[in-house]
Structure 1
């Protein structure tokens, strides 16, 4: 990553990247608009390098970590994409059955960062399963730009079925204690909310900056929720007030946090939108929530 100081970058640049990362503008328009902020010693290439994810240096739990047993498996999603690939991880030293956590990726498939998050969850004492909703199209292609393009070709309701099927797979797994939670980020946050709507037996759901379900769906929620939002992520956070009202009216169990001065994607430590204090606090809260609900 370049030597650009994050504090010197205008918020509009992060908002522009958010538009690009969510396919509201294409790469050509992104580069063109980025040129408006290439002033002083900044250049468009240096800004591009600064904003793009760094998967090589930011992995916290390596794929070959000796404390874990991680492997790729496949499970059946008959209502979704068919045969779905997923990363299954658990602690090597586990002496009993563990709670299960479905880890749901962003809008670009199962990239190295989400695999890392899944391993972090396993290291905290759970069986984690991180599916790749791009499996029917060949899987995560190795870079996020192509991943976003592929994911846009899939129906999101069919992808929801893939993650519901992951719940069914993990619930029957020999190492799981029958209690299942879900955590998801961005697109995965919406999936997490919708799994709480669709799965009456879900034990916990933690959406990170995820789109909210339709208000009329809220009465169906049975799982306790922990919701994480970013103050500067107005695109997502503006839907929270109505969602919270519906949760209260329907007497649902929930806890919600809005992290001051944080951007959408603040938990993702591979991009400069990462907010270390907010990310660590949110993740620690998430793990404590899962330990309470899944053990």
Structure 2
């Protein structure tokens, strides 16, 4: 399928925002929207590929760049710096990623300039998890933009997020009554107190080996049921965190195939 793709900056009032947009080239009418919310690695090749995949399914798909400030990324979070961190971490066992001693021992083997760049970008990426409220504001601004954008005006909007983006997809549902649906891939789930703000169906996809995240699912499912809200989910046996990311060793093809099919069915239902 031929797609029209572009990076677009839009004015959100006090600041401007940057997002990747993809849509079927021959679709002339406004389309329902899927907001694709990034992993901690930003709007990288994997996220852009997923955005195009949702566009090929017949949606206007957008991926907001949550690291852009007034339409441009700071040096510490530019794509090449993040790729440098990813390449470094891929040389370590996953258990060492958040082990400061093991990480520093590996860093000490690198040239000083490269070592300092990796340290600063790593700190900015993983320290940025404390800034989820700021990221959520970007998503809310994106939602307001899409409500008036010529290719989506008058259409329903749903979200899907991965890892950090999965948590943000659920939080967007807690904050925005107009959201038609939210999909969470291996992201932290909202608290019982936050659930009262959810007005749309939520779907979740998790790996059985991702215990820190997946252990939250039963409590969230129970709280959603007690609140009379819709939550469907799958926990894939033998799948790790980030099982859907086909650029990483954690990729699980069977779980990904099933989750992709169920995600498209979910969007067909909530965006109809």
With normalisation by structure 1, the TM-score equals 0.73
- Asked whether the 8 Å contact 1:196–1:222 carries over to 2, the reply is yes
- 3-state DSSP of counterpart to 2:149: coil
Distance in 2 (alpha carbons) for counterparts of 1:249 and 1:231: 24
Distance in 2 (alpha carbons) for counterparts of 1:99 and 1:241: 31
The corresponding residue for 1:188 is 165
Distance in 2 (alpha carbons) for counterparts of 1:110 and 1:239: 26
1:134 maps to which of 67, 70, 89: 67
Distance in 1 (alpha carbons) for counterparts of 2:167 and 2:133: 11
- Asked whether the 8 Å contact 1:103–1:129 carries over to 2, the reply is yes
- 3-state DSSP of counterpart to 1:98: coil
Instruction: Tell me if 1:286 matches 2:263.
Output: yes
Distance in 2 (alpha carbons) for counterparts of 1:69 and 1:227: 29
Instruction: Tell me if 1:150 matches 2:127.
Output: no
Distance in 2 (alpha carbons) for counterparts of 1:280 and 1:77: 37
The corresponding residue for 1:75 is 10
**Residues 140 and 113 of structure 1: CA distance in aligned 2, closer, same or farther (over 3 Å):** farther
Distance in 2 (alpha carbons) for counterparts of 1:253 and 1:274: 28
2:179 maps to which of 177, 183, 202: 202
Distance in 1 (alpha carbons) for counterparts of 2:149 and 2:38: 21
Once the two structures are TM-superposed, the CA of residue 150 in structure 1 deviates from its matched residue by 3.4
Distance in 2 (alpha carbons) for counterparts of 1:223 and 1:148: 35
With normalisation by structure 2, the TM-score equals 0.79
- Asked whether the 8 Å contact 1:119–1:128 carries over to 2, the reply is yes
The corresponding residue for 1:11 is none
- Deviation track 1:30-82 (CA, whole Å, cap 9, x = no partner) reads xxxxxxxxxxxxxxxxxxxxxxxxxxxxxxxxxxxx61000000124457xx3
- Deviation track 1:245-286 (CA, whole Å, cap 9, x = no partner) reads 110100101211111110000000001110111111101111
Segments of structure 2 that go 5 or more residues without pairing to the other structure are 86-117
Distance in 2 (alpha carbons) for counterparts of 1:281 and 1:265: 14
Describe how 1:246-261 pairs up with structure 2 within 5 A.
246-261=223-238
- 3-state DSSP of counterpart to 2:243: coil
Distance in 2 (alpha carbons) for counterparts of 1:150 and 1:267: 24
Distance in 2 (alpha carbons) for counterparts of 1:124 and 1:260: 27
Segments of structure 1 that go 5 or more residues without pairing to the other structure are 1-65
- Asked whether the 8 Å contact 1:108–1:140 carries over to 2, the reply is no
**Residues 194 and 271 of structure 1: CA distance in aligned 2, closer, same or farther (over 3 Å):** same
- 3-state DSSP of counterpart to 1:164: helix
- Asked whether the 8 Å contact 1:84–1:162 carries over to 2, the reply is yes
1:125 maps to which of 33, 55, 58: 58
Distance in 2 (alpha carbons) for counterparts of 1:254 and 1:172: 29
Q: How many residues align?
A: 228
Distance in 1 (alpha carbons) for counterparts of 2:126 and 2:12: 19
The corresponding residue for 2:191 is 214
Please say which of residues 137-146 and 175-184 is displaced more in the overlay: 137-146
- 3-state DSSP of counterpart to 1:201: coil
The corresponding residue for 1:100 is 33
Distance in 1 (alpha carbons) for counterparts of 2:78 and 2:11: 18
The corresponding residue for 1:160 is 136
